[in-house]
A and B are shown apart, each in its own frame.
Chain A
Amino acid sequence: MENRIKNVMSAVFDIPFEKINDESSPDNIMSWDSLKHMQLVVALEEEFRIVFEDEEIIEMLNYSSIKQNIAKKVKQ
């Protein structure tokens, strides 16, 4: 699962796969703005065939939170 998330993030933000870690967030990824965040959300939804709620979308502003939110839905 982690690799799939990193692949999506790497595609959307145009950054190398290896550069993504638990600390990754808009603070250290320059291209992560509100537009790209929207694209990231829909790309992840398509990748994992899930739908995020409003609150989750706002919460998912770093890699570890993204992981948690997806893990929660994929397990269910």
Chain B
Amino acid sequence: MKYSELITTNRQLAKRVNTPPYNIAILSNIVVHPIIDFVEYACRIMNINATAIVGDYDNIIQDSQKYCDYDATIIFWELCNLTERIHYKIELFNDEQINILLDKTKSEIDYVLSKLNKTSLVIFNKFTSFPFSRFSPNINKLEQFSKKLNQHLLEKAPPNVKIIDLEGIFASIGIYRSIDFRFYYSSKALYTIDFYKSYVDHIIPSILAINGKAKKVLVFDCDNTLWKGIIGEDGYQNIEMSERTKSGAIFAEIQGIALSLNKSGVLLGLCTKNNYQDIEEVIKHHPDMKLRMEQIAIIKCNWDDKVSNLLQIALELNVGLDSIVFIDDSAFEINLIKEHLPEVTVLQVPERLYYYPELLRENLGLFYNLSNTKEDLQRAEMYKQQEKRESLLKKYTNVEDYLTSLGLEITVYEDDQSIVSRLSQLTQKTNQFNLTTKRYSEVDIMNFISSSDSKVLAFNTNDKFGDSGITGLCIIRFDKIQRTALIDTFLMSCRIIGRNIEYAFLDFIIDILKKNKTSYLKANYIRTPKNEQVNNFYDSCSFSLIKSDSNIKEYNLWIKDYKPKRIEYITINYGK
């Protein structure tokens, strides 16, 4: 898309995207204004209602304070403008002058990082001397200086800071496509629009991840997508995915990448028009097949259309269509999905097969997770357990009997700092069983935990099939003088819904509130396109609806009026 079209489209999107505002501040010591349209556009097409502003010119220190309550901050701290024309003057500095400047800049970095320590996401570009010093055979003073600053930055940056390597961008699009010296000398603007496009591609996975938009499932067609050839025609012996042959090597690499995604928590699925026995035989027995039954969470192998199959996959795995990436070699299938399920991200196997691994690598950012927690790594295994639970369900006609047979246990943790990263992730990823859908960073959760005006309750679930990890969260805010409390957040991971755990958890919460001498509780349901299933949750738990419009339902409850459900088949333990 051309730059002028992008500007116009971005302006139109501003009117259409109605999700909660997401404010981005861009702090800089050079002129970077064109980035605004690129970053807003990239967010808005993903339905994030972003507004970006550029702070005052060369005012990073003061602006770090001014914009500290923004949702995200991007920092362009250019070496070449640390002091006027340092990019060549530094070669004339003596050691003492350099050390003074180094210490000053380090303490400025520390100051900025401390001011932004409550910002959920800080994107900080690594310092680089590359635009001005790539010709000298010796490491010159500018390069040394830049290395020392980066070393300091890497040591000091807390987890909310994402460090971006600009040299990687220069390498991928070329330095002369990245830098425009005309505007550097006339207006202190260093970068081209090509640079900004590529830069935003680099940072957008972090923004998507923190907004709960990372992809969770990768679904493959089989023939000419996981292996070379068509199983139904070429036969078991003739399909290729061996590292030892030219075309086979490409498919072996694709499977390898899929395997490593699976290790980091991405679910793998197959959606293919084939005979099930053929596919099963390959998965179970083919010596070159890397993806085995243990790695594949779901298989839709039939002659139905792929639209219904993908819908079924979303339903069975309990994920939104927008969490799915689908790869197929057929333009027909790809276009069918694009047309009927535009929320699904589709990738078509390129005709030039040697670009296929590159295509997949280019899109790895879609699955990017800010932190890989224990739950991510076990997720694939947990879904396998889920399948076993469901097959057990078929044996019981009465759901209660089935639930009783599971031996459900939850362990509640109160204000536990050791699980902050998982709790933040739950707020970012949970869309369905989420009453208010508020997204919180690790820093936010830490603040709730340490404050005496709030309480963070989370629980772990297990049953006879295994441990589901930390899968539920409730954040309560107190007004102690009034003896009232508000349920700020109440959510549960979709993999444990349908077992009435939410009622057991709420019983437990109310007991804690009673001990805390809270007499009155407020709660809200904030409607999103995905949380319809909890629309009536509070109605079913003795709360009274006091106000309702199309976006929000407000409830209250006199604690003494609460009628506990006391679910008999769930054991509740207190974790701490």
| Residues of A near any B CB (own CB < 8 A) | 7-8, 10-12, 14, 34-35, 38-39, 42-43, 46-47, 54, 57
Chain B residues near A8 (CB-CB < 8 A): 4
Question: Smallest distance from the beta carbon of A4 to chain B beta carbons, Å?
Answer: 9
Check if A35 sits within 8 Å of B182, measured CB to CB. no
Given contacts A11-B4, A12-B7, A46-B2, contact A39 B182 (CB under 8 A): no
Contact A54 B193 (CB under 8 A): no
Which residue, of A14, A42, A57, has the highest number of chain B Cβ atoms within 10 A?
A42
B2 adjacent to A47 (CB under 8 Å): yes
A35 close to B4 (CB less than 8 A): no
Chain A, residue nearest B6 (CB): A11
Q: Is the CB of A42 within 8 A of B193?
A: yes
B22 to chain A, nearest CB (A): 22
A39 surroundings in chain B (CB, below 8 A) = 3, 7, 33-34
**Residues of chain B from 218 to 248 with CB closer than 8 A to chain A in the complex:** none
With A46-B2, A54-B182, A57-B182 in contact, do A38 and B7 touch (Cβ < 8 Å)?
A: no
A11 lies within 8 A of B8 (CB): yes
Q: Which residues from chain B contact A12 at a C-beta distance below 8 Å?
A: 4, 7
Please list 30 pairs of residues, one from A and one from B, whose beta carbons are closer than 8 Å in the complex, sorted by A's number. Answer: A7-B4, A10-B8, A11-B4, A11-B5, A11-B8, A12-B4, A14-B11, A34-B187, A35-B31, A35-B33, A38-B31, A38-B33, A38-B34, A38-B183, A38-B187, A42-B3, A42-B192, A42-B193, A43-B2, A43-B3, A43-B4, A43-B7, A43-B193, A46-B2, A46-B3, A46-B4, A47-B4, A54-B186, A57-B182, A57-B186
Chain B neighbourhood of A43, CB < 8 A: 2-4, 7, 193
Complex contact A38–B4 (CB within 8 A) = no
Most buried by A among B4, B34, B183, B187: B4
Judged by a CB distance under 8 angstroms, whether B509 is at the interface is no
**Contacts A39-B33, A43-B193 given; 11 further ones with Cβ under 8 A?**
A8-B4, A35-B33, A38-B34, A39-B3, A39-B7, A39-B34, A42-B3, A46-B2, A46-B3, A46-B4, A57-B182
Q: Does B408 contact A (CB under 8 A)?
A: no
- Cα–Cα, bound, A35→B192 (Å): 13
How many cross-chain pairs have Cβ atoms below 8 Å apart between A and B? 43
Bound-complex Cα distance A30 to B279 (A): 65
Please give, as numbers and ranges, the residues of chain B lying within 8 Å of A11 by CB-CB distance: 4-5, 7-8
Tell yes or no: B557 within 8 A of A by CB: no
CB-defined contacts of B420 to chain A, threshold 8 Å:
none
**8 tightest Cβ-Cβ pairs between the two chains A and B:** A11-B4, A8-B4, A11-B8, A43-B4, A11-B7, A43-B3, A35-B33, A42-B193
Q: Does B314 contact A (CB under 8 A)?
A: no
Distance of B1 from chain A, by nearest CB (Å): 10
B181 to chain A, nearest CB (A): 10
Query: Is the CB of B189 closer than 8 A to any CB of chain A?
Result: yes
Contact with A along B1-29 (1 / 0, CB 8 A): 01111011001000000000000000000
A9 nearest CB neighbor, chain B only: B4
Give the distance in Å from the alpha carbon of A34 to the alpha carbon of B183 in the complex: 11
In the assembled complex, the Cα of A12 lies from the Cα of B10 at a distance in Å of: 11
- Contact check, B187 vs A42: say whether CB atoms are below 8 A apart: no
In the bound complex, residues from chain A placing their C-beta under 8 Å from that of B189 are 38
CA distance A57 to B180 in the complex (A): 14
Q: Which residues of A contact B186 (CB under 8 A)?
A: 54, 57
Q: How far is the CA of A75 from the CA of B31 in the complex (A)?
A: 33
- Residues from chain B with a CB closer than 8 A to the CB of A42 are 3, 34, 180, 192-193
- By a CB distance below 8 angstroms, the chain A residues around B182 are 54, 57
Query: Which residues of the partner chain A approach B3 to less than 8 Å between Cβ atoms?
Result: 39, 42-43, 46
Contacts of A47 in B (CB 8 A): 2, 4
Quote the shortest CB–CB distance from B450 to chain A (angstroms): 43
Instruction: Tell me, rounded to whole Å, the shortest Cβ–Cβ distance linking B442 to chain A.
Output: 36
In the assembly, what is the distance between CA of A34 and CA of B187, in Å?
9
A35-B31, A39-B33 known; A46-B193 Cβ under 8 A? yes
Please, how many angstroms separate the alpha-carbon atoms of A43 and B33 in the complex? 14
The residue on B at minimum CB distance from A10 is B8
Closest A residue to B37 by beta carbon equals: A39
> How many angstroms from the CA of A10 to the CA of B11 in the assembled complex?
12
List A contacts of B2 (CB < 8 A): 43, 46-47
Least Cβ distance of B209 to chain A in Å? 30
B185 nearest in chain A by CB position: A54
Q: For B34, give the chain A residue with the smallest CB separation.
A: A39
A54-B344 Cα distance, complex, nearest whole Å:
46
CA distance A10 to B4 in the complex (A): 9
User: Which of B7, B31, B189 has the largest count of A CB atoms less than 10 A from its CB?
Assistant: B7
Distance between Cα atoms of A46 and B34 in the complex (Å):
14
Distance between Cα atoms of A11 and B183 in the complex (Å): 21
| Distance of A54 Cα from B187 Cα, bound (Å) | 12
Task: Give Cα A46–Cα B5 distance, bound, in whole angstroms.
Answer: 11
Distance to closest chain A CB from B144 (angstroms): 33
Closest to B31 in A: A35
Segment 173-190 of B: residues with Cβ below 8 Å from A: 180, 182-183, 186-187, 189
**Cβ–Cβ < 8 Å partners of B11 in chain A:** 14
CA–CA, A39 to B189, complex, Å? 11
What separation, in Å, do the CA atoms of A43 and B4 have in the docked complex? 6
Q: Chain A residues near B193 (CB, 8 Å)?
A: 42-43, 46
State A4–B34 Cα separation when bound (angstroms).
20
Cβ distance B31 to chain A, nearest Cβ, rounded Å: 7
When C-beta atoms are compared, the residue in chain B nearest to A39 turns out to be B34
Q: Could you tell me the distance between the alpha carbons of A65 and B143 in the complex, rounded to whole angstroms?
A: 43
**Residues in chain A near residue B180, CB distance under 8 A:** 42
